[in-house]
Amino acid sequence: MKKGPVVIVECFQEIPCNPCETSCPRQAISVGDNINALPQVDHHKCNGCTVCVSRCPGLAIFVIDVAYSDAESAVTMPYEFLPLPEKGDLVAALDREGKECCRAKVIKVVNTKAQGKTPLVTLAVPKGMETDVRSFKLAS
């Protein structure tokens, strides 16, 4: 966790699904033979590459990097709304209930064919907020 980016899978119900397992280039996520089982992450194998984030049909996977800087952590999330933010934008970060919890800066936006129309947005958030921030609102 302290070393750098690592995946957080927020998938808490046994639903028949395993693209996280099959998309991971390092076999760090396993679901197993019962496709309804919850995904298990081997954090020693995960390097936070973000491939699984766009592949999760439930948009339930995030990558956090607590080593981003001294004061900030980075949170990468799937974002399927328009307009897409741009690198450098300041946004209002939202928690799991949609409540504003802090300000954040957009540090990366990835939207190539590989993301399959689920772009990835990475926010820099104040240290400690990486466990709360799961969405954002463009500043109006």
Partner 1 sequence: MTNTDFLIIGGGPAGLMAALSASEFGLEPLIIDENQAIGGQLIKQTHMFFGSKAERAGTRGFEIGLELEQEIGKRSIRIERQASAVGYYPDGTVAVLQNEKVTPLKPKAVLVATGASENFVSFPGSDLPGVYGAGAVQTLMNVYGIKPGHRVLMVGSGNIGLIVSYQLMQAGVQVKAIIEGLPKIGGYLVHASKIARAGVPILTRHTILNALGEDMVSGAVISKIDDKWQTIEGTQQTLEVDTICLAVGLSPLTELLWQAGCQMNYIPELGGQVAWHDDLMMTTVPGIFTAGDVTGIEEASTAMLEGELAGLGAVKFLKGDSKDLQSRINDTACRLAGLRAGPFGQKAREGKCKLAECKR
Q: How many residues does the chain have?
A: 140
Q: Could you please report the per-residue DSSP string of 93-112?
A: EE-TTS-EEEEEEEEEEE-S
Q: Which stretch binds partner 1 (CB under 8 A): 51-59, 63-71, 105-113, 121-129?
A: 51-59
Interatomic CA distance for residues 119 and 35, integer angstroms: 26
Under rule CB under 8 A, residue 116 binds partner 1: yes
Among 1, 3, 27, 34, binds partner 1 (CB under 8 A): 34
Under rule CB under 8 A, residue 131 binds partner 1: no
Is 56 or 66 the residue whose CB approaches partner 1 more closely? 56
Contacts of 22 (CB under 8 A, 6+ apart): none
The residues binding partner 1 (CB under 8 A) are 10-19, 22-23, 34-36, 55-60, 80-82, 94-99, 116-118, 134-135, 137
